[in-house]
């Protein structure tokens, strides 16, 4: 399953998240499970990434900021 980085909006709030390809469509309403809220997709970036590669990327990104890992 591919994931796409998307800009999302809810009211005046804005965030960016990686979401599954099936929801990565401008205008779609997607639920962010960690927040238990629905957000509207405002922009989808064209580069998709497989789930396993996304998890590896996130792990690398977390480990690149050791001061945050210790917190």
Structural domains counted in the chain: 1
The predicted-structure confidence for 10-64, as pLDDT tens digits, reads as follows 999 999 999 999 999 999 999 988 778 899 999 999 889 998 999 998 888 877 7
Q: Which long-range contacts (CB under 8 A, 24 or more apart) does 54-59 make?
A: 54/3, 54/18
Contact 47, 3 (CB under 8 A): no
Confidence tier at 65 by pLDDT (50, 70, 90):
low
Dihedral pair phi/psi, residue 69, rounded to 5°: -65, -35
Global pTM? 0.78
Domain hosting 20: range is 2-70
């Amino acid at each position: 399953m591919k994931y796409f980085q998307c800009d999302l909006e809810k009211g005046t709030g804005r965030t960016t998240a990686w979401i599954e390809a099936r929801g990565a469509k401008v205008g779609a309403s997607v639920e962010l499970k960690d927040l238990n809220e629905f957000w509207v997709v405002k922009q989808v970036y064209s580069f998709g990434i497989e789930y396993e590669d996304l998890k590896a990327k996130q792990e690398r990104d977390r480990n690149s900021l050791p001061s945050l890992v210790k917190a």
